[in-house]
Amino acid sequence: MSVRITLVVAVAHNGVIGGNNQLLWRLKSDLRYFKTVTMGKPMVMGRKTFHSIGKPLPGRKTIVVTRDQAFAYDGVLVAHDVDAALELAAQEARALGADEIIIAGGGELYAQLIGRADRLRVTEVDLAPQGDAHFPKIDPAQWREIRREPHPAGPEDEAAFCFVDYERR
């Protein structure tokens, strides 16, 4: 069984994905979507992203990438580079019967892995906040849009958004 690498991200119109190590918007609908597409799969994230979440998410195996040799957290696997993280994630995917590894941020990890990804699951957020974390530009020569699902802001959402899926060309 081959294991796909999928980047899952919420991105504002200006490419911003966060600021001061936190999300800059509240989209309850997107959080539900994130849970749906990541459940039962290994998730790779950077240390700062993990700290912003604060704990391993239930129903998923969390792999944290960090250069900090002393970093440890109960219930979390630790890798000290992206190759080691992807190998751990592939092992976990096989153990879980999952066909996909989720890359869940942040900006540095997305930049390192977009060239190795098979799929992007992007929530386009109808905002343009100032922030210090960005998602790499999606190159249409490399990526083909396969699904677009627009949503008006729901009662617990700060903005309208679209779920957009891309496959590598």
CATH number of domain containing 59: 3.40.430.10
**Domains of the chain: total:** 1
Amino acid (1-letter code) at residue 84 = A
Q: What is the pLDDT of residue 166?
A: 98
Chain centre distance of CA 53? 12
Residue-number span of the structural domain to which 132 is assigned = 4-168
pLDDT confidence of residue 1? 62
Q: What CA–CA distance (Å, rounded) separates 9 from 17? A: 8
* Chain centroid to CA 162: 16
Decide: 136 and 22 in contact? Cβ < 8 Å.
Answer: no
49 SS3 class: helix
Question: What was the pLDDT predicted at 2?
Answer: 83
> What is the reported pLDDT for 35?
97
The tens digit of pLDDT for each residue in 100-134 reads 999 999 999 999 999 999 999 999 999 999 999 99
Q: Which residues of 74-113 are buried (b: 16+ CB within 10 A; e: fewer)?
A: eeebbbeebeebbebbbebbeeeebebbbbbbbbebbebb
Distance CA 56, CA 153 (A): 28
Q: What is the per-residue pLDDT across 133-153, written as a single tens digit (0 to 9) for each? A: 999 999 999 999 999 999 999
pLDDT tens, residue by residue, 37-76: 999 999 999 999 999 999 999 999 999 999 999 999 999 9
The C-alpha atoms of residue 114 and residue 44 are separated, in whole angstroms, by 13
